[in-house]
Amino acid sequence: MRISDISRLAWDQVKRRKVVTGLCMAGISIGCAAIIVALSIGESAKSYSEKQLNQSFKMDEITVTANGGIPSHGGEGGGGGATPEASDKLDPGKLTRQKLDIIQGLKHVNAAAPFQELGYIQMLTMDNRIADVQVIGTDLRLLTKYDKTFLQGGGSDLPRMAVLNYGATLGLIDDETNQKMLEGFRNDPYNVQLREQYDSLSVLPSQMYQQQFQLQQFKDYSNPASKILQSAPLRVIGILNKASGADDLMESYNKIIYVSLETAHQLVEELSMTNGTVGQEGVYNSAIVKVDSTDNIVQVEKLIQKLTLTTSTNLYQLEQLADEFNMVKKVALGVGVFILIIASISIIVAMTMSTHQRRRQIGIMKVLGANMGQIRNMFITEAALLGMMGGMLGVLISYLIVFGINKLIGTAAGPVPGDGIIINIPIMTIPIGIAFAVMTGVFSGIYPAISASRTNALTAIKRD
Amino acid sequence: MLRVENITHSFKNGSESTPVLHDINFTVNPGEMVALLGSSGSGKSTLLNLMAGLMKPMEGDIYIADHSIVKMSENKLSEFRRKHIGFIFQAYELITSLTVRENVELPLVFQSVSPSIRKQKSLSLLEKVGILDKADLFPSQLSGGQQQRVSIARSLITEPSVIFADEPTGNLDSKTEEEIIGILLELNKTMNTTFIIVTHETDVAEQMQRIFALRDGYLVSEKGSLVGMEPKGGISIEN
């Protein structure tokens, strides 16, 4: 029997038996929609959380630091016992330019750049406004490789140039106002008005692009006579965009100035900084490795560790999240499958009833030469068709449900800064949902199909 | 063509056994048109069902085109029926969801014959039975006589060795009955198809080439021809 004939005969029955078709489709479509919506919510929530995590913790980055051989302060001694002069370029424990070059050459590594932390110092603008900032020495041209985008300007390897993150352009206030504020807090820590005033000043933006500034040591207020070391002026050649989803207040707590490694070296000398390896040429205290995918983090991390370097990632956050969402998905999938089982039972009942109603027709077909397999196939095809139609209806229903949920979320959340959670139906869940529906149809159709194929032709065509 | 050998059959109801056929023997030659005549309960329908392979006899054997159908498995029998046996039912038994042409084509569908050949054959047969213009209608749009013509066309489409007709005119008025019998006789003549027609009507049976009469499960008479019949075993047909 040709597939086209089996399908046509099955389709005829599906069209003809509207009540059975409607009942079966209703059951399957609800089950299918439940599965699609469950998977979609799970996937959307997971990807939203991953995105949020990635923004906050940079899941696709590995922070590489020197191993035990490098002292945390000062340029000599330490567990490894090697002096800078004695160490070779691949000295165990040290994070050297050569090691970074090797890391850069590893498969799946998009970028490997030193992020030499100079620590927190004070930024002083030309009009005497100050802010506490973190200074990091790196290759300014590689900043874009680390998901950073420029609001103004760009990176350069010229000395005495700096790139400011968005937070570093906020809350620059003069020293006198700063002192008054701090004193006010000391006297009245719970002064709401003062807090509001401080917060509004904290997010006050300054036009820093192409401006000059200096870096200086923190003032020792206990010793007013002490001399404050100041760096030579630096020029702002780029301002970074604020992090996605972050507001100005959040940004104001995170002020970073990026300078070239050469400039970092100069700053260490100008400000007499003694911070680990910052004074050593070609040796760094920290580097960040950007990997093409979070899936390859572990593999790359293991290779880096072979260079006797210490690594840290935020992957555990992702694993924790994955565990939580796997559980959510399992529960949701379980609900969907449960509904499909109920739908399956309704199909078995409806199709068995249909089989009994069509006993005479089955009998005639058998008398006309249809064998058991052909009868069985017709019924299974009919059940599969019901499943497929139910599945397609389920897809439609799932889109309506997701549309409704998104509307609800939108109404409940109001205007959310950044990217709010939006449930999307991943394309892959549609064939999965329909496949589940067809499978339910087929499995549910097996019993009625076997029962139909075993119909005794003579008994079926006999008239009372 | 058809050989019925020592067929004995009874129906069991618990421990009770009701004999319905007793040692039936006869042969039907290719191209013959035979009536199986008998009153209600005489066993004629049971015999038809046995010959069509819808039931297995308790004793004896049945051969169609030299194949014993008694020993065949159900699937083998389905395949055999598909190729060698045609059916005409008293109540036509058309599939209401299919058009006239689709109903006629149905036995070929089970043989996986291509749609173009099926269409060609079905239209040709519908023309033969005089309802070509009704090909695209549904059975419910036809009269009883027209439905029976569809049933006849359907039985012929596989060019079977033998066609069993169970009271083919039982649901029809006398005028339509004449038309249908006329069609069957014509088809027998032109296509040389073997027909075995079960009937309780003597006037229908008398139009056949031979008559096998049954009474209480016994084959009581065999009529060789309509004119000058010589009852075998000296027993006449009784109604």
| Cβ atoms of A69 and A83 closer than 8 Å | no
For residue B220, being part of any structural domain is answered with yes
Residue A380 and residue A302 in one domain: no
Inter-chain CB proximity B95 and A374 less than 8 Å: no
What domain count does chain A have? Answer: 2
Residue B235 predicted with pLDDT over 60: no
Q: Tell me whether A368 touches chain B (CB under 8 Å).
A: yes
B198 in a domain, yes or no? Answer: yes
Number of CB atoms found within 10 A of residue A434's CB: 22
Do A92 and A48 reside in the same domain of the chain? no
Spatial CB neighbours of B185, under 8 Å, sequence gap ≥ 6: B33, B207
Which of A313, A331, A358 corresponds to the end of one domain?
A313
Interface probe, candidates B45, B75, B78, B88, chain A, greatest A C-beta count within 10 A: B78
Judge if ipTM > 0.90: no
Answer yes or no: do B78 and A366 touch at CB < 8 A: yes
Q: For residues A107 and A222, state if they share a domain.
A: yes
pLDDT single digits (tens) A97-126: 888 889 989 999 988 988 888 888 889 998
Domain-embedded: residue B45: yes
End-of-domain residue from the set A293, A313, A333: A313
Residue to substitute from A1, A16, A360, A367, interface B, most B β-carbons within 10 A: A367
pLDDT at position A187 is 86
Residue A91's nearest CA partner among A222, A283, A344, A377 is A283
Q: Is residue A217 assigned to a domain?
A: yes
**Predicted confidence band of residue A463 (pLDDT cuts 50, 70, 90):** low
pLDDT in tens, A50-63: 777 776 777 788 88
* A9 belongs to a structural domain: yes
Among A3, A4, A368, the strongest candidate for a mutation testing the B interface, having the largest count of B CBs within 10 A, is A368
pLDDT of residue A74: 37
Number of domains in chain B: 1
Instruction: Note whether A330 and A458 are same-domain residues.
Output: yes
Inter-chain contact A365–B110, Cβ cutoff 8 Å? yes
User: Does residue A219 surpass a pLDDT of 80?
Assistant: no
Which residues in chain A have Cβ-Cβ distances shorter than 8 Å to B171? none
* d(C-alpha A45, C-alpha B82), whole Å: 59
Q: Do A251 and A129 lie in a common domain?
A: yes
| A5 close contact with B: CB closer than 8 A | yes
- What is the nearest CA distance from B26 to chain A, expressed in angstroms? 23
Q: Is A12 on the interface with B (CB under 8 A)?
A: yes
Same domain as A127, residue A95: yes
Residues in chain A with CB shorter than 8 Å from the CB of B112 are 1-2, 5
Position B228 pLDDT exceeds 60:
no
Residues of B in contact with A9 (CB under 8 A): 109
Evaluated on CA atoms B149, B151, B157, B160, the torsion sign reads negative
Q: How far is it, in rounded angstroms, from Cα A301 to Cα A211?
A: 40
**B224 has a pLDDT exceeding 50:** no
Of B54, B111, B112, the CB nearest to A457: B54
- Mark whether A279 and A231 lie in a shared domain: yes
Shared domain for A223 and A89, answered yes or no, is: yes
In a domain, B186, yes or no: yes
* Domain CATH number, residue B22: 3.40.50.300
Interchain contact A367–B (C-beta under 8 A)? yes
In a domain, A10, yes or no: yes
Same-domain pairing of A308 and A342:
no
Read off the amino acid at residue A245.
G
Q: How far apart are CA B142 and CA A234, in angstroms?
A: 99
Domain boundary among A295, A313, A331: A313
CB contacts, 8 Å: A364 with chain B: 89, 93, 95
Residue numbers of the domain that contains A131: 60-170+205-313
pLDDT of B120 above 90: yes
User: pLDDT tens for residues B83-99?
Assistant: 889 988 888 889 888 89
From the CA of A430, how many Å to the nearest CA of chain B?
Answer: 33
| Residue B29 belongs to a domain | yes
Which residue segment(s) compose the domain that B196 sits in? 2-94+161-234
Question: Rounded distance, CA B15 to CA B8, Å?
Answer: 18
B79 to A457: CB separation less than 8 angstroms, yes or no: no
Question: Going by C-beta distance under 8 Å and a sequence separation of 6 or more, which residues neighbour residue A455?
Answer: A355, A359, A362, A363, A366, A375
Residue B113 lies in a domain: no
Residue A215 Cα to chain centre, angstroms: 36
Same domain, A352 and A453: yes
**What is the C-alpha to C-alpha distance for residues B106 and A46, in angstroms, rounded to an integer?**
54
Residue B19 lies in a domain: yes
Domain check: are A370 and A386 in the same one? yes
Residues of B in contact with A366 (CB under 8 A): 78
Q: Are residues A265 and A337 in the same domain?
A: no
Contact A12 B97 (CB under 8 A): yes
Q: Residue A278: pLDDT above 80?
A: no
Backbone angles phi, psi at A369, to 5 degrees: 115, 5
Taking an 8 Å cut-off on Cβ atoms, the answer to whether B112 and A463 are in contact is no
Weakest mean pLDDT among A311-320, A362-371, B30-39: A311-320
**Average pLDDT, integer, range A135-145:** 89
A2, A4, A368 ranked by CB distance to B106: nearest: A368
| Cβ distance of B98 and A12 shorter than 8 Å | yes
Find residues 347-366 of chain A whose CB sits inside 8 Å of chain B. Answer: 360-361, 364-366
In a domain, A111, yes or no: yes
How many contacts does A have with B, using Cβ atoms within 8 A?
61
Closest Cβ opposite residue A372 in set B49, B75, B115: B75
Asked if residue B103 belongs to a domain, the reply is no
Nearest CA distance, B175 vs chain A (angstrom): 25
User: How far, rounded to the nearest angstrom, does the alpha carbon of residue A125 sit from its chain's CA centroid?
Assistant: 37
